[in-house]
Chains A and B, each alone.
Chain A
Amino acid sequence: MLTTLHKQLLNDYQHNFPLSPRPYQDIAEALGVTEAEVLSTFTELNDNNFISRIGPVIPPNHIGVSALIAMAVPEQHLQTVADKISAHPEVNHNYEREHRFNLWFVVIAADAEHLDALIDAIEQETSYPAMLLPMLDDFFIDLGFKLDLNND
């Protein structure tokens, strides 16, 4: 069960997390609780897998080269192929989607050569062609998200 403090930490600190020597203390003061409570509540959120991390979101292609890749994989092979792909550290998101192209994953590589080599390796390991969809322009990338946590 999420407490008010859980909800506040989830919703109110997706942006503008304090860049100060004691950020958790600053949050505690803003919310009228103690730093220890803030620390233990963030630890709970981490342990319960409700947050991925506290950290920076960096727009794509400022560091390294990234691309979205789609594959059409027969259902009976999907888990095996997905596992092979997920095993690469350069792969972050890897999802099944409802489409003929049913496997969608994002890779991030140091440079274009590394990206090409990685895609070649993935195609060889899985024996399915990879459809490469690099980002050309981003109109809105944030991932900050107002959660409605009241009706759960």
Chain B
Amino acid sequence: MIEARDRQLLEHIQLGLPVCSKPYAEIGRLCDMPETEVIERLTRLKQQGLIKRMGVIVKHRQLGYRANAMVVWNVPDNLIKQLGGHIGRFPFVTLCYQRPKQPEWPYNLYCMIHGKDRATVLKQLEQLVDACGLSSFDQEILFSKRCFKQRGAVYKNTAVTHG
């Protein structure tokens, strides 16, 4: 679990680094922490993997990436790690994870593909299915339509992405 001071820092930085000359000093003022401590803590959190990456978070849709497919498969549990690891290595895959099956939803392996158009995404998916040997598993493709809300998750000012 994460220590209180780190949590406090993440609470303040989650809404975005200020666009100004000394943004970490600015964050430090908000949480009563010297600039050096802000930078040290963020550096350590990144090394520890509690910050997966630090940087620009783009809005795909606004930049022309209108086709977003969530692809799900029903794969045997004993193969899921291996398949997931393989899928995650494709450059057009932005997310890959395991979720539990449900009575009305027999899928346990998920990946997300962002592309400029549907045809490109479907071609990339075909490539992925062939390369990873996924063709024998039940699969569904769910393209996104309307986006009702998109932002980093906020709970009591703490950012997380993609539950």
Q: In the complex, are the beta carbons of B59 and A49 less than 8 A apart?
A: yes
Task: Please judge, given known A-B contacts A55-B14, A59-B49, A145-B60, whether A139 and B85 are in contact too, CB under 8 Å.
Answer: yes
Q: Is the C-beta of B133 less than 8 angstroms from some C-beta in chain A?
A: no
Q: In the complex, are the beta carbons of A52 and B57 less than 8 A apart?
A: yes
Number of residue pairs spanning A and B whose beta carbons lie under 8 angstroms apart:
298
Residues of A within 8 A of B158 (CB): 63-64, 108
Mark contacts of A48-81 with chain B using CB atoms, 8 A cut-off: 1 yes-contact digit, 0 otherwise: 1111111111111111111110100000000000
Mark contacts of A24-35 with chain B using CB atoms, 8 A cut-off: 1 yes-contact digit, 0 otherwise: 110000000001
Sorting the interface of chain A by its residue count into under 10, 10 to 19, 20 to 34 or 35 or more gives 35 or more
CB distance from B157 to the nearest CB of A (A): 10
Task: Please judge, given known A-B contacts A83-B148, A139-B84, whether A57 and B52 are in contact too, CB under 8 Å.
Answer: yes
Cα A138 to Cα B50 with chains together (Å): 14
CB distance from A26 to the nearest CB of B (A): 11
Sorting the interface of chain B by its residue count into under 10, 10 to 19, 20 to 34 or 35 or more gives 35 or more
Cα A67 to Cα B110 with chains together (Å): 14
Give the dominant DSSP class at B's interface. mixed
Closest to B35 in A: A21
Q: Is the C-beta of B81 less than 8 angstroms from some C-beta in chain A?
A: yes
Q: In the complex, are the beta carbons of B55 and A14 less than 8 A apart?
A: yes
Q: In the complex, are the beta carbons of B163 and A134 less than 8 A apart?
A: yes
What are 19 sample pairs from A and B whose C-beta atoms fall under 8 A apart?
A10-B58, A48-B62, A52-B16, A53-B17, A54-B16, A56-B45, A58-B161, A60-B160, A63-B158, A82-B149, A93-B149, A95-B147, A98-B144, A108-B154, A109-B155, A134-B163, A139-B88, A140-B84, A142-B94
Chain A contacts to B: CB under 8 angstroms: 9-10, 13-17, 19-25, 35, 39, 42-43, 46, 48-68, 70, 82-83, 85-86, 89-99, 101-102, 104-110, 131-149, 152
